[in-house]
Amino acid sequence: MQFLHTMIRVTNLDASLHFYCDLLGLQEVRRTEHERGRFTLIFLAAPNDMPQARSTSAPLLELTYNWDSEVYFGGRNFGHLAFRVNDIYATCQRLLDGGVTIARPPRDGHMAFVRSPDLISIELLQAGAALPPAEPWVSMANTGQW
């Protein structure tokens, strides 16, 4: 397993970039605009992590800026932790067998979400190419929030 990023939602992109980059010293690794979904993703890394962040896309801080204003409550501004796993199906099965609810099953063989006992959202991403779709994951519905 490899730690990838922590995602937080920001309400003022300029103020957030000033804080994280200008004041704290993080550096921008990449930025993507998603017009259809109306959001911007900006990935930042600490200066000493830049070589690794550029080559492996980890470890990063992901700033998510939703273009339409939204009030975040209940910790929703803290998005999730993300981990790359070698076999998303085996990982989800181990979690399921351990009593963890799979909030967003890996129907696509690539991505799943679970929650920690403290309700922190955890994103699991398949290392390399997505695995072929497989049951029971393909037919499993989302459960709760993720």
Active site residue 123: yes
User: What sign has the CA pseudo-torsion 76, 78, 84, 90?
Assistant: negative
Choose, from 28, 35, 70, 123, the residue flagged as catalytic: 123
Catalytic residues, which ones? 123
